Amino acid sequence: MRLLIQISPIIAALATLCGVPAAQSAETPSSQMQTASEFQFHKVLNASLKYLLFEPKGYDASSSKRWPLLLFLHGAGERGNDVWKVGTHGPPKNVSQNPDFPFIVVSPQCPEGEIWSDDLLLGLLDDVVANLRVDPRRVYLTGLSMGGYGTWNLGLTHPERFAAIAPICGGGELISVLLASGHRADDLKSLGVWAFHGGKDPVVPTEESQRMVDILKKNGVQDVKLTVYPDAGHDCWTEAYSNPALYEWLLTHERKL
């Protein structure tokens, strides 16, 4: 699959110096010191993204039934060109043993040496929703380690795209929560968040998940919680993804369209 994504941000830098005492600026007016300018930038990203696709038992492209979608982001160790590496951990591993798993599962592979790109992931998500029988009210996001970071970032930056997220042994940027406003703030408050972490994680400190959960609670997110496995190290995902309660919890959330 090839994704063509157009990004057209306008970066504006406007500065005005005013109210400077006459004694400090009598010989050099502020208008002669700086000007207001604008930079326009247009970028076309032409990229491809491999992924594993699981269609649940009973899925029929010709049927009117729509299914929940789970987007899974792997960790740093599964990057590369061999897409089957993505099935090492998490949902793509579990579905090979459980054909009754009631989600469409999309598990993309991050290229070697890179981290998760929101633009590529959103492009993939748009393509999957447009071409598969996905229920747009029930789109969920999860990931482990590097994918946990990707889940926090994508989920909190675009909460309107997901009903619930489950980041595992990752961390996020507080600023994405602190600066949320308008519709995005409302969508964030209704986003389900269940984070997981190992109490003895030597790679990503447990505090990384804790601080994200704390800031979400402080900013009015209604359903947010953290499960810490006291004796687990970095690999807490095996236990988390083996817990049926996680998937039952996901399905209790629907995004209003």
Q: Indicate the average pLDDT of the chain.
A: 89
Q: Could you tell me whether strands 67-73 and 51-54 are parallel, antiparallel, or unpaired per DSSP bridges?
A: unpaired
Q: Look up residue 248 and give its two tokens.
A: 């039952």
- Provide CB contacts within 8 A for 29, sequence distance 6+: none
pLDDT of residue 6: 43
Dist CA 71 CA 47 (whole Å)? 19
- The DSSP line for 227-254 is EEETT--S--HHHHHT-HHHHHHHHT--
Q: Find the range with the poorest average confidence among 22-31, 55-64, 134-143, 190-199.
A: 22-31
Q: Look up residue 113 and give its two tokens.
A: 């040496």
Q: Could you tell me whether strands 192-198 and 134-144 are parallel, antiparallel, or unpaired per DSSP bridges?
A: unpaired
Average pLDDT for residues 13-36, to the nearest whole number?
54
pLDDT of residue 27: 55
pLDDT of residue 31: 64
Q: Find the range with the poorest average confidence among 12-21, 172-181, 185-194.
A: 12-21
Q: Look up residue 130 and give its two tokens.
A: 């447009």
Q: Look up residue 256 and give its two tokens.
A: 């209003």
Q: Look up residue 83 and give its two tokens.
A: 């897409």
Identify the residue whose tokens are 């953290």. 226
In this predicted structure, the answer to whether residue 15 has a pLDDT above a threshold of 60 is no
pLDDT of residue 33: 87
Average pLDDT for residues 3-32, to the nearest whole number?
45
Model pLDDT for residues 115-160, shown as the tens digit of each residue: 999 999 999 999 999 999 999 999 999 999 999 999 999 999 999 9
pLDDT band at 44 (very low <50, low <70, confident <90, very high): confident
pLDDT band at 19 (very low <50, low <70, confident <90, very high): very low
pLDDT band at 164 (very low <50, low <70, confident <90, very high): very high
Domain with CATH 3.40.50.1820 in the chain: 49-251
Please give the class, per CATH, of domain 49-251: alpha beta
In this predicted structure, the answer to whether residue 202 has a pLDDT above a threshold of 50 is yes
Model pLDDT for residues 62-92, shown as the tens digit of each residue: 889 999 999 999 999 999 999 999 999 999 9
Dist CA 237 CA 240 (whole Å)? 5
pTM for this prediction: 0.86
- The DSSP line for the chain is -EEEEEE--EEEE--------HHHHSSS-GGGT---EEEE--EEEEEE--EEEE--TT--TTSS--EEEEEEE--GGG-SS-GGGGGGSSHHHHTTT-TT--SEEEEE-PPTT----HHHHHHHHHHHHHHS-EEEEEEEEEEETHHHHHHHHHHHHSGGG-SEEEEES----THHHHT--HHHHHHHHT-EEEEEEETT-SSS-HHHHHHHHHHHHHTT-SSEEEEEETT--S--HHHHHT-HHHHHHHHT-----
In this predicted structure, the answer to whether residue 2 has a pLDDT above a threshold of 60 is no
pLDDT of residue 29: 59
pLDDT of residue 241: 98
